[in-house]
Amino acid sequence: MSPHVPAPRRFRHRLLTLLGGVLLAGSATAQAPATATLTAQRTAFRQAWASATQQGGNGWRALATNLRDYPLYPYLPAAALEHDIRQADLPTVQAYLKQYPELIPAQDLRRNFLEELARRKDWQGFRTLYQPGINLTLTCDALQAKLADGTALNFQQDLAALWQHASLPNACDPVLQAAHDQGLLTDARLWARIDRAFDADKGGTVAALAGWLPDDQRQTALKLAQALRDPAAAATAAAQWPDTVRLRQAAATALQRLARRAPDTANTDWQTLQHHFHFSSAQRNAIRHAVVLFRATDFEPDSLSQLIALPAAAQSDATREWRVRVALAQQDWRAVLAGIEAMPAEQQNDDEWRYFRARALTELGHADTAQPLFQSLAGQATYFGFLAADRIGAPYAICPLQPTIDPQREPALLAMPGLQRAFELYAVDLPRRARREWSRALAGADAATRALAADLANRRGWYDRAVFTFSHGDMLHYYDLRFPLARQDGLVAQADEAGIDPAWAYGILRAESAWMTDAHSGADARGLMQLLPGTAASVAQRNGLAWGGGDTLYDPAVNIALGTRHLAELATRFGDAPWLASAAYNAGSAKVKQWLDARSSLPPDVFVATIPYKETREYVARVMAFSVIYDWRLHGKVLPMSARMPAFVDPAAGQAQPAARPTAHAARKAVDCPASETPAPATSAPAGATSARQEQP
């Protein structure tokens, strides 16, 4: 099969088949002027957008004289009003909302101007513009408007719904204070919300509400808050607490939370507190569960025996899983089998445990019994499927499908104004706004419509739409769409220059961002390969590459150049073992070195299974599997997983040469699609169908 290469990025902004709601049809000569017009409109929009968002006012209008029929024109006046929100007046905002009542910019403008009116305490204007149900902040602002009129609050009418939330925005503070002053916050109501906030792990809410309780009750509430916010201090102080229902709950919670951070300390405190409090059976089991589980994740020497001895009522899927992981770390294959057999049937059927059952049987001399298990797994294009195929020398089972696309439906789909705006927003490099329009335009659409839209997006270089759309069922076999190559972003060339396997770099990129060029994590990682600005700056300096600041990481070319160099550095640090470098990319080099210091002698597949962080375990498996699929897309054959997961050799030790980095000429194994594994023609799944491991946008 010859690999399919998506259209180059430089053609990403080609003509949409629809402009301003009019379908462009006819000869190529008729389309050429329209293409030029659209290109000119996009250029003008970018200029007007920059003016509107950066300067506000009306200067943008001179740049938008030819944009009245352009789908994104309504974004411009809204952007200027947003920029000038502190000076905006109600009639101007109302005029915009009247002209574009259903558009997303109108929705945003209404919300933001309502917040501005609340800041001004212009309650009359606020009431004129307010619509219920926008968000909790505005709900509480509306109650402030009511209070400003001198109207008393009614708990059931005004506060009962808010009271169900474990935490509320700051705008609600004046309302809650007024409710307290009016005597509406009885002790029973306060405790109902404290209990709800405690269960939701909202220690700040518990502490805030404690201030309205009588002195004797306040101290109990503050101890509950301490159990959430400082469990170590709470567990120590609990030895002096009275044995009441709520303080037992606080002590039990503190011990469970402390076990996550310091299981040995929690275990020591537990030995004291179990005699001080009359904990319920459920509380005792929960505490023992937490202490034993998190001691296991630290691989304490007695972890396996403690996990085995844990009462059935204190066990969970997590403790049963870690019983096997600890046994794997000890390479006690009989204990591995016993641990898997102690799992419920559903858990045993997880691919990971089917694989390690076969591994254990093989190690114990029962290869014939293991063979069918490996064969069953080898029929899947997954991490454990590829590992199993290598174990029995089978080809990899990759069975591609293509979606059934009806081109006759394209004009109707492209006639949807919301989808027009989505495609244009992406074309002018406003992907976050494009995704919002996309989601609204396709809300409630059937699977066939979503598939067609994703295919259209993919043809325009908007790759992440297909990644997220084709994320379950038989659609997982749409490999061309789910694993775009996008050579035009320079990844292959940059990976070659950095000295790493391009398929691995593609696997990292796909796992990190799913091809969202503007991806931005809570830790400030940015762009396709999710680099932190500080890391990127250091990599640039060490490699003599230009560095223009954190925002340049949203440029695919910059991001890929730095990301591939960062991967190369990690590969060198970890003996050219991409599986270990992938773990370091996710969890950090320090953590991986810590794990290697403890368990570097383990076989790579076993080592991955003993990584304490679930996220990192699954990340490594995902990257390795994605690398195989990308290798197939690049070469038609694949570097075996066993070659991607060599045993670790510390480059600093000088004992042996690290694993060789694969080249395009490296020995690769065949890919097959066994008849028994060939997927049936893809069928439409419900639009909202999901699975436990479904990728989400």
Q: For the segment 631-648, what is each residue's pLDDT rounded down to a tens digit?
A: 999 999 999 999 999 999
Q: Are strands 671-672 and 18-19 parallel, antiparallel or unpaired?
A: unpaired
* 37 domain-assigned: yes
Q: How far is CA 354 from CA 376, 508, 545, 550, in A?
A: 9, 26, 46, 44
Interval 277-328: pLDDT, tens: 999 999 999 999 999 999 999 999 999 999 999 999 999 999 999 999 999 9
Structure tokens at 641: 């997983």
* 218 domain-assigned: no
Task: Report the SS3 class of residue 526.
Answer: strand
* 110 domain-assigned: yes
**What's the rounded Cα separation, in Å, for the pair 452 and 445?**
11
* 384 domain-assigned: no
pLDDT of the residue at 29? 40
Give the chain's domain count.
2
Determine the average pLDDT of the residues in 93-119.
Answer: 97
Q: How far is CA 11 from CA 6, 14, 172, 265, 410, in A?
A: 11, 5, 50, 60, 19
Determine the average pLDDT of the residues in 324-335.
Answer: 98
Determine the average pLDDT of the residues in 55-59.
Answer: 96
Closest by alpha carbon to 578, among 608, 545, 615, 606? 608
Determine the average pLDDT of the residues in 9-13.
Answer: 35
Structure tokens at 440: 């609204």
* Boundary (domain end) residue, out of 145, 162, 179: 162
How sure is the predictor about 652, in pLDDT bands with cuts at 50, 70 and 90?
confident
How sure is the predictor about 130, in pLDDT bands with cuts at 50, 70 and 90?
very high
pLDDT of the residue at 488? 67
How sure is the predictor about 266, in pLDDT bands with cuts at 50, 70 and 90?
very high
* 612 domain-assigned: yes
Domain limits at 521? 485-666
Structure tokens at 616: 């990192």
Q: Which residues contact 236 (CB under 8 A, 6 or more apart)?
A: 269
How sure is the predictor about 677, in pLDDT bands with cuts at 50, 70 and 90?
low
* Boundary (domain end) residue, out of 135, 162, 189: 162
* 651 domain-assigned: yes
% helix, strand, coil for the chain, step of 5: 65, 0, 35
Residue the block writes with tokens 């017009």 = 37
DSSP state of 22: E
Q: Are strands 18-19 and 396-397 parallel, antiparallel or unpaired?
A: unpaired
**What's the rounded Cα separation, in Å, for the pair 611 and 614?**
7
Residue the block writes with tokens 């890929």 = 560
Determine the average pLDDT of the residues in 658-672.
Answer: 73
**What's the rounded Cα separation, in Å, for the pair 658 and 648?**
8
**Contact criterion met (CB below 8 Å) for 278 and 248:** yes
Output the pTM of the full model.
Answer: 0.89
**pLDDT beyond 50 at 681:** no
**Contact criterion met (CB below 8 Å) for 311 and 285:** yes
How sure is the predictor about 408, in pLDDT bands with cuts at 50, 70 and 90?
very high
pLDDT of the residue at 654? 54
Residue the block writes with tokens 């009750």 = 217
pLDDT of the residue at 653? 65
Determine the average pLDDT of the residues in 389-395.
Answer: 96
**pLDDT beyond 90 at 623:** yes
Tell the burial category of 607 from Cβ atoms under 10 Å away from its Cβ (0-12, 13-18, 19+).
buried
Q: Which of 53-57, 123-127, 196-200, 672-676 is predicted with the least confidence, judged by mean pLDDT? A: 672-676
Q: Tell me the CATH number at 131.
A: 1.25.20.10
* Boundary (domain end) residue, out of 144, 162, 180: 162
**pLDDT beyond 50 at 555:** yes
How sure is the predictor about 487, in pLDDT bands with cuts at 50, 70 and 90?
low
pLDDT of the residue at 36? 76
**Contact criterion met (CB below 8 Å) for 646 and 613:** no
Q: Tell me the CATH number at 643.
A: 1.10.530.10
Interval 516-525: pLDDT, tens: 999 999 999 9
Tell the burial category of 197 from Cβ atoms under 10 Å away from its Cβ (0-12, 13-18, 19+).
buried
* 632 domain-assigned: yes
* 93 domain-assigned: yes
Residue 336 falls in which region: left (phi positive, over 0), alpha (psi -120 to 50) or beta: alpha
